[in-house]
Structure 1
Amino acid sequence: MAIDPPIQAILAAAGSFFLVTLIFATIYVVCKATEQRPNRQSRAISRNRTRPISGPDLSVISVGESATFDPSLNRVSMPELLLLTRNFSADLIIGDGSFGLVYKAKLANGVTVAVKKLGDDAFQGFREFRAEMETLGKIRHWNIVKILGYCATGSDRILIYEFVEKGSLDQWLYDTSSDNYDVAVWLPLPWKTRVNIVKGVAAGLCYMHNLDTPIIHRDIKASNILLDSNFEAHIADFGLARRIVGTQSHVSTQVAGTMGYMPPEYLHGATMATMVGDVYSFGVLMLEIITGRRPNWPFKEEEDGKEIRLVDCARKRAAENRQMEMVDANLPRDGLKEEGVVEFIRIATLCTNEIPKYRPAMKEVVELLDGISI
């Protein structure tokens, strides 16, 4: 059917108008994108100080912000860490801490470090991450592992710690030694060494709790205590650590920690992390060190075969004056004095009191431990 000439004219005009409009719209979008792209790049560079990495394997990685807290170290960039850890090879894993894996790496200047790659959910954002790291990076105490620096790009968060030679206390209590550490032959820790480790952890926690801005660790446990070549203790893994600001005695935060070490108030719905929560975890650690029993694994009583928790068992044995029965069967008896064991367990039960306000402060704990006979 033929179309009337007037209608043909209208359709032709409409088509021409649509085509012209489409052309101009396309030109506008292209020009706008070209105009805005440099601005977005400049803002990204200003905010993240990023630069592309050359090389076939690293071409899609960009370096964000990094910092070192040790004046003897240069800044360590993300491409360096990727090379030093062979792109975070599983062969170099030496630990599995809170929120991430830990790798062994040797820097260009010959210094061996522990590199922790945090998971995506370890921190809410980069600002919080940087604030925590800058605070923790200033901590200098013999019994606390040094945070040497950090590196961040995109969603990746990397912490660089000093490397502690003998690995975790957990490895030495239970013979879970790794070839990555200098543990050629596992030997049970003697009594004097165990007491000194406890004293070192207590000193480190006391220091943290008595800073001008106190720090709560929130995850004291055997695998977070590292031992150097002299078996001196160093508190590690600050993935859950929080600062106490102002006159607070607690931090309002999501309760966190490890089952078996967590104080009962955390398990019963408390929404505040406290210093006495750290004290409870420390008391559990003391019991673990003297008994060689994992606190998150209930065990059966010999008398009635009923399961009992480590903390409850210690309290029961202390009440019955049967503390020596709790001593690790692998612990050498040389130099082991009953009065020392009794006092050790007494201090541990004080720290693990069910009622938070009756637990001693870490400063008092340090003084009590100094009185143990070894």
Structure 2
Amino acid sequence: MDPTLQAIISAIASFILLSLIFTFIYFLCHTTSKHHHQTPPRRRTRSIQTTPNPSFFSITESQLFDPSLKQIQMLDLVNATRNFSPDLIVGDGGFGLVYKATLSTGATVAVKKLSADAFQGYREFRAEMETLGKIKHDNIVEFFGYCATGSDRILIYEFIEKGSLDQWLYDMSSTGDMSSLRLPLSWGTRVNIIKGVANGLAYMHNLERAIIHRDIKASNVLLDEGFKAHIADFGLARRIEGSHLHVSTQVAGTMGYMPPEYVYGATAATVMGDVYSFGILMFEIATCRRPNWPIKSESGKEIRMVEWAIKMVSEKREMKMLDASVLKDDLKEKEVLEFFRIATLCTNESPKYRPRMNEVVKLLNQIQDETTT
């Protein structure tokens, strides 16, 4: 056969073969695509525990909560807060705003409206529901109920009249009314406040399923009309069993109050972490020094508040540590020294050497049978 003709026939055959291959591939893809679009979508199931988007939260999902927890309707909260008026804001937390409101029942409450776009706020909502919503103690803020509508997540608590311990230690300003002027806390009042916090923590730690608060600090201690302490903000709290520890991949707490084992990367949060934070709070309420602010030592070096406090105790200079606004006339030095000794025990670097909270309560009660304001 003529070589030229042979080449032409080969080229035509190759073209026909390639055309058939491309036609087959196109047909196959078209059929698969058509089948894919005609396949009905799979039904999605949602779980409160695993959904990553808080906007999926709905009224029907509230049926999964403990039925003993009271659900308050959004319309009632809108009326009680005058549609969440800025004039009623009494607090601004990390995950939302707090409003003072009066319900239709006449009860004055604090309404915490969590940020709708904060996943951490959603986790805080769940934590408070699973811990604070199921306990009751004189030194723990009372949980009134919740509201869950669409992406809104709202928690309702008793309203504590005098605000946070943090405000009383550092904000002495008046709101314009002489009756609301914040005077320095007396030594007796400070000891009673610490006793209240200790009682609340001891109760939590000794439940059948212990609760670790994980964020004990001055701003999370509220004071009522009689200056009785109420532990608040259980957004980082966790219920635990067995060995009283909670394994977490995230560090929880506030710098300055956080125990060293958390700072150094320990994944197990324990009741002893709360004990350490409580000891820091003891130093803070006695000295009126913020734990997360460095203190310049006599050598000129900046050190942590807890380092400074422990050094002062070791040098027997406890009386010089006291907040200058505390009246010294009725102070008993022996009581002050014991107070700082307990705080030092609680802030031991090693968790195993810290006392448990029920032991701390006994030690504090031995300072004074009854401390008056």
Could you tell me the TM-score, scaled by structure 1's length? Answer: 0.77
Conserved 8 A contact 2:213-2:237: yes
Conserved 8 A contact 1:64-1:152: no
Task: Give 1:2-41 correspondences, 5 Å limit.
Answer: none
Structure 1: segments with no counterpart, 5+ residues: 1-24, 33-38, 48-61
CA 1:185/1:157 → structure 2, altered by over 3 Å: closer, same or farther?
Answer: same
User: In the TM superposition, what whole-angstrom CA distance separates every residue of 1:303-337 from its partner, at most 9, and x where no partner exists?
Assistant: 32221211111111111111111000011223211
Segments ≥4 residues shifted beyond 4 Å: 62-71, 128-132, 176-183
CA 1:282/1:182 → structure 2, altered by over 3 Å: closer, same or farther?
Answer: farther
1:122 alignment counterpart: 120
Answer yes or no: is 1:274 the counterpart of 2:265: no
Task: Give 1:16-165 correspondences, 5 Å limit.
Answer: 75-119=71-115, 120-122=118-120, 129=125, 133-165=129-161
Question: How far apart are the structure 2 equivalents of 1:319 and 1:129?
Answer: 43
2:309 alignment counterpart: 314
CA 1:77/1:66 → structure 2, altered by over 3 Å: closer, same or farther?
Answer: farther
- Indicate the RMSD between aligned Cα atoms, in angstroms: 3.2
CA 1:70/1:314 → structure 2, altered by over 3 Å: closer, same or farther?
Answer: farther
Question: How far apart are the structure 2 equivalents of 1:227 and 1:124?
Answer: 27
Of residues 339, 343, 347, the one that matches 1:348 is 343
1:130, CA displacement in angstroms? Answer: 5.1
SS at match of 1:140: coil
1:85, CA displacement in angstroms? Answer: 1.9
Of residues 270, 278, 284, the one that matches 1:288 is 284
Q: Give, as a single letter, the amino acid of the residue that structure 2 aligns with 1:108.
A: S
Rg (Cα) greater in structure: 2
CA 1:262/1:134 → structure 2, altered by over 3 Å: closer, same or farther?
Answer: closer
User: In the TM superposition, what whole-angstrom CA distance separates every residue of 1:176-198 from its partner, at most 9, and x where no partner exists?
Assistant: 56749996112000010000000
Question: How far apart are the structure 2 equivalents of 1:69 and 1:109?
Answer: 23
Conserved 8 A contact 2:59-2:148: yes
Percent identity reads 65
Answer yes or no: is 1:251 the counterpart of 2:249: no
Question: How far apart are the structure 2 equivalents of 1:132 and 1:142?
Answer: 17
SS at match of 1:318: helix
Q: Give, as a single letter, the amino acid of the residue that structure 1 aligns with 2:335.
A: G
1:168 alignment counterpart: 164
Question: How far apart are the structure 2 equivalents of 1:111 and 1:217?
Answer: 27
Question: How far apart are the structure 2 equivalents of 1:181 and 1:363?
Answer: 40
Answer yes or no: is 1:242 the counterpart of 2:231: no
Task: Give 1:315-334 correspondences, 5 Å limit.
Answer: 315-334=310-329
1:249, CA displacement in angstroms? Answer: 2.1
Conserved 8 A contact 1:208-1:216: yes
Conserved 8 A contact 1:107-1:113: yes
| Structure 1 range deviating more: 334-343 or 182-191 | 182-191
Question: How far apart are the structure 2 equivalents of 1:209 and 1:182?
Answer: 40
Q: Give, as a single letter, the amino acid of the residue that structure 2 aligns with 1:322.
A: R
1:107, CA displacement in angstroms? Answer: 0.4
Conserved 8 A contact 1:261-1:284: yes
Count matched residues. Answer: 320
Conserved 8 A contact 1:98-1:237: no
Question: How far apart are the structure 2 equivalents of 1:370 and 1:362?
Answer: 12
CA 1:243/1:63 → structure 2, altered by over 3 Å: closer, same or farther?
Answer: closer
Conserved 8 A contact 2:221-2:231: yes
User: In the TM superposition, what whole-angstrom CA distance separates every residue of 1:41-87 from its partner, at most 9, and x where no partner exists?
Assistant: xx99xx9xxxxxxxxxxxxxx8666699999x974211221232233
CA 1:205/1:171 → structure 2, altered by over 3 Å: closer, same or farther?
Answer: same
Of residues 308, 333, 338, the one that matches 2:333 is 338
Q: Give, as a single letter, the amino acid of the residue that structure 1 aligns with 2:354.
A: R
1:372 alignment counterpart: 367
CA 1:162/1:124 → structure 2, altered by over 3 Å: closer, same or farther?
Answer: closer
2:20 alignment counterpart: none
User: In the TM superposition, what whole-angstrom CA distance separates every residue of 1:78-102 from its partner, at most 9, and x where no partner exists?
Assistant: 1221232233232222123342221
CA 1:74/1:311 → structure 2, altered by over 3 Å: closer, same or farther?
Answer: closer
SS at match of 2:91: strand
